[in-house]
């Protein structure tokens, strides 16, 4: 080992020691280590979001159980205009989950996420990554279509996001991709523009999350495909690493 590397290791150890001493002085004597599999908040739901489901969240819920609990959901006003709840589609054991914003007209008609033009582009991106729709899991932050495809409102997100959290806790993927500004900013509670969020790894309750552009944005701005491809290459590498490790 070279002297430079030794010096760097000694510096890092010195910094860690001072940090632990500071924590100890401020009364912290234990640092909890959260095992990866337990990282998602399986027993915590935002108020009013869980209903009966809150009890089963402490067990390992199946997607079917979550769907049953969602039922003919009336938890927010979006139920008034919807034709179908768009729960999610794909492999319940997927290592990759992609999260979009909310169903559009075609998704609402069919009850399946990303079946319109943006969805066809998403399918092409997935195929280029070597995946079929049945190998990943695709869902949205919102499960009902907002009128006129407007952005979902805070009370609609509050009602719906607990179900997304439970879906992610059930699947426990190795990587999450947030498709577009709305999904990325909502999941991360971070209002940074998507142009700055994309392309860098974030942490979602212990699961690596990659924000990237929404396929609908790519339809309007094809030049962004290059950046999405770079992001997806990072995703592929991360999936490979998690398989090797
Ligand atoms: N846009 C989304 O964010 N989700 C869909 O399911 C369709 C379009």
Report the pLDDT value the prediction gives residue 159, as an integer from 0 to 100: 97
pLDDT in tens, 62-91: 999 999 999 999 999 999 999 999 999 999
Work out which ligand 1 atom sits closest to the CA atom of 112: 6
Pocket of ligand 1 (CB under 6 A): 100-104, 107, 113-114, 118-119, 140, 216
pLDDT in tens, 187-228: 999 999 999 999 999 999 899 999 999 999 999 999 999 999
Does the pLDDT value for residue 42 go beyond 60? no
Q: Around Cβ 229, how many Cβ atoms within 10 Å?
A: 13
The Cα 142–Cα 147 span in angstroms is: 12
Q: What is the CA radius of gyration of the chain?
A: 20
HSE, side-chain direction, 13 A CA sphere, residue 41 = 12
pLDDT in tens, 95-113: 999 999 999 999 999 999 9
The Cα 218–Cα 72 span in angstroms is: 33
Prediction pTM value: 0.79
For residues 169, 172, 173, 175, the Cα torsion angle rounded to the nearest 10 degrees is 70
Ligand 1, pocket-test mutation among 99, 113, 214, most atoms within 8 A of CB: 113
- Cα 146 to ligand 1 centre (Å): 11
Does the pLDDT value for residue 49 go beyond 50? no
The Cα 111–Cα 67 span in angstroms is: 13
Report the pLDDT value the prediction gives residue 36, as an integer from 0 to 100: 38
- Cα 127 to ligand 1 centre (Å): 18
Question: What's the Cα-to-Cα distance from 79 to each of 62, 112, 153, rounded to whole Å?
Answer: 24, 16, 13
For residue 200 the two structure tokens come to 């860098």
**Listed residue (60, 32, 39, 43) closest to 174, CA to CA:** 39
Report the pLDDT value the prediction gives residue 6, as an integer from 0 to 100: 72
Report the pLDDT value the prediction gives residue 185, as an integer from 0 to 100: 98
């Amino acid at each position: 080992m070279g002297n430079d590397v030794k010096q760097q290791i000694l510096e890092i150890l010195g910094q860690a020691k001072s940090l632990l001493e500071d924590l100890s002085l401020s009364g912290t004597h234990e640092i909890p280590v959260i095992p990866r599999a337990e990282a998602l908040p399986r027993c915590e739901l935002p108020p009013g979001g869980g209903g009966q489901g809150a009890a089963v969240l402490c067990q390992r819920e199946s997607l079917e159980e979550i769907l049953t609990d969602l039922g003919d959901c009336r938890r927010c006003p979006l139920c008034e205009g919807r034709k179908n709840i768009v729960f999610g589609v794909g492999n319940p054991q997927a290592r990759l989950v992609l999260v979009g914003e909310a169903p559009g007209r075609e998704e609402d008609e069919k009850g399946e996420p990303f079946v319109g033009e943006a969805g066809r582009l998403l399918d092409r991106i997935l195929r280029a990554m070597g995946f079929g729709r049945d190998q990943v899991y695709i869902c949205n932050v919102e499960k009902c279509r907002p009128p006129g495809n407007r952005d979902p409102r805070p009370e609609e997100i509050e009602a719906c996001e607990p179900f997304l959290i439970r879906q992610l806790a059930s699947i426990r993927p190795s990587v999450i991709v947030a498709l577009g500004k709305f999904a990325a900013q909502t999941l991360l509670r971070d209002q940074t523009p998507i142009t700055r969020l994309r392309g860098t790894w974030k942490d979602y309750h212990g699961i690596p999350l990659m924000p990237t552009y929404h396929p609908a944005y790519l339809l309007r701005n094809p030049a962004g495909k290059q950046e999405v491809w770079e992001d997806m290459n990072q995703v592929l590498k991360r999936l490979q690493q998690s398989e090797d490790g």
